[in-house]
Structure 1
């Protein structure tokens, strides 16, 4: 494997050797825990910046040293970004304490910024119906892709990584690989199943082939999926940008409006923490009542 692909390894020579060795032990521990590639890469970049700019040996770091760096880093940064960096540093320093590279805790709970609790961005009933009408004008692949995202609430990476052998159209289930390599089974509607079957009939299929393919016969990657949805959003004149996570949020709000309980929704979406799913219960009550009436009558 090339150095470029060793996402769990820092080669940043601006970091003191001893600190970089500890950093790489930490990153390897994340990989062994099956943390997502994107998570490890993000953590590595934040920690590389910290260790490059704060060259004090890890065993000599104090709360004041970390606080000074945070003050500089936080200028013009969004609270969510600062919170992510705090979480990254906390995880790294916890590792250092456990491995006895540090003797005292340097992070303070009071540093955590207040983050506005925004509601998930989802399509309301009229937007949802309009986008589905637009989908009828799309190619069979794009229609299958859109209906699959709406029906399952899958993440864009889960849809991209899907192979033909992972989908059972007769049982209307698919086996997807979620964050941390965790496998789960999702379900989809009869309407979705019919379009998925129609799409497969346009191809010569091998079980190990990607389910969604681009025009070159290769796997449709996350960027390609995002572009498909972006064009649909423009065509539908949506007020918000249309991306795969909007489909995921729309799936959750539709399920909640139909009376599904939060644990069922969490299982379908691959949420390991029920608190992640509870955000959907914060959608205004009247809006949910109206949505339920419009869908169910």
Structure 2
């Protein structure tokens, strides 16, 4: 079996069997290409079926010279997944990554914003410009619905169910969920829809896309990052923030105000409750308050 053949089958497996998004598939495949490039650079000709443990170990050693611990762990995880697939399909008998340990990395807690900082960022938006109403609606939606940036940019007019108080969100692996949306956020979206979006010369393929640039096309992920970074500079916010920071803040603030972890998981679209826990700063004082309020022996 050649590498390209194995990669083609693997990508099909990730899409159909695992239901991963194209972004996730690209990241998995990138790890395999790093190994393939290493083999080519060192004139090593060997099939993925027969590549031994020692070659992969040498490759990882070389890679560790330029990668931090977190990137090394990600690379090992990607390779392990690929070879596990080959074992699952009976192409190989063993996984050559079985006895290779990932480097120890600390759990990275996400940055969050306080409600005051979120208010300051939104207040810094210049509403005298048409894109100001759009940007306010974007930040309000990111925070009040806890969306990923890709979920925001892909949001459609047909996904808005304001009468019912929900929006339909298409997440990773094209999995859909309904997320509650507050009246205030609905108001800001409607202002943008009715007073700004209607005056844009919209390209035919983006007629149903909610948030558009001035050329009538879908906003890019990079543009959302730029909007937020510029606002952070404007208010002298000394934090490294991104669109995902609003998602972290959404989850953290809900938890701190007593929301159920399972409900937060459903709104975020996490398959595992463990992922939801990692996303949030669960401080000790909050846990103590929960115990004191709900324990039968309080």
TM-score w.r.t. the length of structure 1 is 0.85
Residues in 2 aligned to 1:111 and 1:255: alpha-carbon distance in whole angstroms: 36
Equivalent position of 1:61 in the other structure: 51
Equivalent position of 1:187 in the other structure: 180
Equivalent position of 1:175 in the other structure: 168
Per mean C-alpha deviation after superposition, the further-off stretch among 146-155 and 30-39 is 30-39
Equivalent position of 2:241 in the other structure: 242
Show the 5 A alignment for 1:196-215: 196-202=189-195, 203-204=197-198, 208-215=207-214
Equivalent position of 1:39 in the other structure: 24
Please report how far the alpha carbon of residue 244 of structure 1 lies from its aligned counterpart in structure 2 after TM superposition.
0.5
Please report how far the alpha carbon of residue 152 of structure 1 lies from its aligned counterpart in structure 2 after TM superposition.
0.4
Residues in 2 aligned to 1:125 and 1:160: alpha-carbon distance in whole angstroms: 23
Match of 1:75 among 47, 65, 78: 65
Partner of 1:111, secondary structure, is coil
Please report how far the alpha carbon of residue 167 of structure 1 lies from its aligned counterpart in structure 2 after TM superposition.
0.8
TM-score w.r.t. the length of structure 2 is 0.84
Equivalent position of 1:88 in the other structure: 78
Point out where structure 2 has 5 or more consecutive residues left out of the alignment. 290-298
Partner of 2:259, secondary structure, is coil
Residues in 1 aligned to 2:90 and 2:145: alpha-carbon distance in whole angstroms: 44
Task: Tell me the C-alpha RMSD between the 2 structures.
Answer: 2.4
Per mean C-alpha deviation after superposition, the further-off stretch among 130-139 and 208-217 is 130-139
Alpha carbons 1:136, 1:143 under 8 Å: kept: no
Residues in 2 aligned to 1:119 and 1:73: alpha-carbon distance in whole angstroms: 26
Q: How many residues align?
A: 274
Show the 5 A alignment for 1:1-297: 18-33=2-17, 34-54=19-39, 55=44, 56-108=46-98, 111-135=101-125, 137=127, 139-202=132-195, 203-204=197-198, 208-280=207-279, 282-286=281-285
Q: Per-residue CA shift, 1:39-69, capped at 9, x if unaligned? A: 1112222211202323332232222221111
Partner of 1:184, secondary structure, is strand
Equivalent position of 1:8 in the other structure: none
Residues in 1 aligned to 2:8 and 2:229: alpha-carbon distance in whole angstroms: 38
Point out where structure 1 has 5 or more consecutive residues left out of the alignment. 1-16, 291-297
Partner of 2:74, secondary structure, is helix
Please report how far the alpha carbon of residue 77 of structure 1 lies from its aligned counterpart in structure 2 after TM superposition.
0.9
Q: Per-residue CA shift, 1:156-178, capped at 9, x if unaligned? A: 00010011111122333110100
Please report how far the alpha carbon of residue 145 of structure 1 lies from its aligned counterpart in structure 2 after TM superposition.
0.6
Residues in 2 aligned to 1:271 and 1:57: alpha-carbon distance in whole angstroms: 36
Please report how far the alpha carbon of residue 281 of structure 1 lies from its aligned counterpart in structure 2 after TM superposition.
5.1
Partner of 2:32, secondary structure, is helix
Residues 274, 153 of structure 1: alpha-carbon distance in 2 compared, 3 angstrom cutoff: same
Partner of 2:123, secondary structure, is helix
Q: Per-residue CA shift, 1:157-213, capped at 9, x if unaligned? A: 001001111112233311010000000011122211111111111133999521101
Residues in 1 aligned to 2:280 and 2:213: alpha-carbon distance in whole angstroms: 37
